[in-house]
């Protein structure tokens, strides 16, 4: 029987710590505010944005939100970001992705002041992570490191396989594991002998966006399995990229979906908002 890594409980613990920090900062006259921008009304984005604003409220920091219509031009969005970059009363800027097709995400991300880049997506933030300098770290991989550490799972010296190579999860995840002294492999859709590669992992992190793709034949017995996927099954139930029922009996610890990695992303975003004040 595997230990179930409870992301909901661990994220709550982090939010309580952040609540205390925010209260102390307030006592010293420092307010923290996150600006959240959403363009259009992608249903998943609406849920994420609402939860991010609720998270701010929960830990006692401010949020201002901009819900812009689908037809917003790239220039209008860039102008708003410029204004928010200049505002002293805004500490963090988050542009919810995906953006509509007529807006170039890379251009938008680059327009955010790296000192306010609480998502950690700006090339300067990614570059800093790559060479081990301080900077904002992408929230989902940062949350996974916290899940592992707070569950007492040793990372140093372990064989870690990250399945998925996205800029938001796979690549920063690999860099963070490396920073924790793991031996890291990134596997992806073109990896040869995938099962052989994933079966080497002491810690297997799956972020491929394919429902229940990972069955027990991809997993070394006793491995720790972290599932980043959030997919909907035909019956509308949420499921991960890992076939939980099949894999759970053979691994030593596993994250459920929902209630594993998901809640950690917002906790780490809130952490980045609190930390942003130090950079400004």
Tell me the catalytic residues.
Answer: 52, 96, 119
Residue among 198 and 272 whose Cβ is closer to ligand GUN: 272
Handedness of CA 9, 175, 205, 50 (dihedral sign): positive
Residue 140 beta carbon to ligand GUN: minimum distance, rounded to whole angstroms: 6
Residue 36 beta carbon to ligand GUN: minimum distance, rounded to whole angstroms: 9
Residue among 93 and 163 whose Cβ is closer to ligand GUN: 93
Residue among 247 and 269 whose Cβ is closer to ligand GUN: 269
Maximal C-alpha separation, the chain: 57
Which residues of the shown chain bind ligand GUN in the complex (CB under 6 A)? 94-97, 119, 139, 265
Residue 215 beta carbon to ligand GUN: minimum distance, rounded to whole angstroms: 26
Residue nearest to ligand GUN (CB): 97
Residue among 228 and 251 whose Cβ is closer to ligand GUN: 228
Residue among 139 and 182 whose Cβ is closer to ligand GUN: 139
Residue 7 beta carbon to ligand GUN: minimum distance, rounded to whole angstroms: 15
Task: Match 């953006």 to its residue by tokens.
Answer: 99
Whole-angstrom distance, CA of residue 160 vs CA of residue 170 = 12
User: HEC string of the chain?
Assistant: CCEECCHHHHHHHHHHHHHHHHHHHHHCCCCCEEEEEEECCCHHHHHHHHHHHHHHHHHCCEEEEEEECCCCCHHHHHHHHHHHHHCCCCCEEEECCCCCCCCCHHHHHHHCCHHHCCCCCCHHHHHHHHCCCCCCCCHHHHHHHHHHHHCCCCCCCCEEEEECCCCCCHHHHHHHHHHCCCEEEEECCCCCCHHHHHCCCCEEEECCCCCCCECHHHCCCCCEEEECCCEECCCCCEECCECHHHHHHHCCEECCCCCCCHHHHHHHHHHHHHHHHHHC
Residue among 72 and 96 whose Cβ is closer to ligand GUN: 96
In degrees and rounded to multiples of 5, residue 20 shows phi and psi of -65, -45
Residue 139 beta carbon to ligand GUN: minimum distance, rounded to whole angstroms: 5
Residue 49 beta carbon to ligand GUN: minimum distance, rounded to whole angstroms: 9
């Amino acid at each position: 029987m595997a230990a179930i890594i409870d992301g909901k409980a661990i994220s709550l613990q982090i939010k309580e710590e952040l609540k205390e920090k925010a209260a102390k900062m307030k006592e010293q006259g420092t307010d923290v505010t996150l600006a959240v921008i959403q363009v259009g009304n992608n249903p998943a984005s609406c849920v994420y944005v609402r939860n991010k604003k609720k998270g701010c409220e929960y830990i006692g920091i401010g949020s201002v939100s901009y819900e812009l219509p689908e037809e917003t031009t790239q220039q209008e969005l860039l102008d708003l970001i410029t204004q928010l970059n200049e505002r002293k009363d805004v500490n963090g800027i988050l542009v919810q992705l995906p953006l509509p097709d007529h807006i170039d995400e890379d251009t938008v991300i680059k327009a955010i002041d790296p000192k306010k880049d609480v998502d950690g997506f700006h090339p300067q933030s990614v570059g800093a992570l790559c060479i081990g300098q301080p900077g904002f770290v992408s929230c989902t991989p940062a949350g996974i490191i916290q899940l592992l550490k707070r569950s007492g799972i040793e990372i140093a010296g372990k064989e870690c396989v990250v399945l998925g190579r996205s800029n938001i999860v796979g690549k920063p995840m690999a860099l963070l594991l490396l920073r924790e002294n793991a031996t890291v492999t990134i596997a992806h859709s073109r990896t040869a002998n995938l099962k052989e590669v994933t079966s080497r992992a002491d810690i297997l992190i799956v972020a491929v966006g394919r429902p229940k793709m990972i069955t027990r034949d991809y997993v070394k017995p006793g491995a720790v399995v972290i599932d980043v996927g959030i997919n909907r099954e035909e019956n509308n139930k949420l499921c991960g990229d890992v076939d939980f029922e099949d894999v759970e009996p053979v691994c030593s610890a596993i994250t459920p979906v929902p209630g594993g990695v998901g809640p950690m992303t917002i906790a780490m975003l809130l952490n980045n908002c609190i930390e942003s004040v130090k950079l400004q």
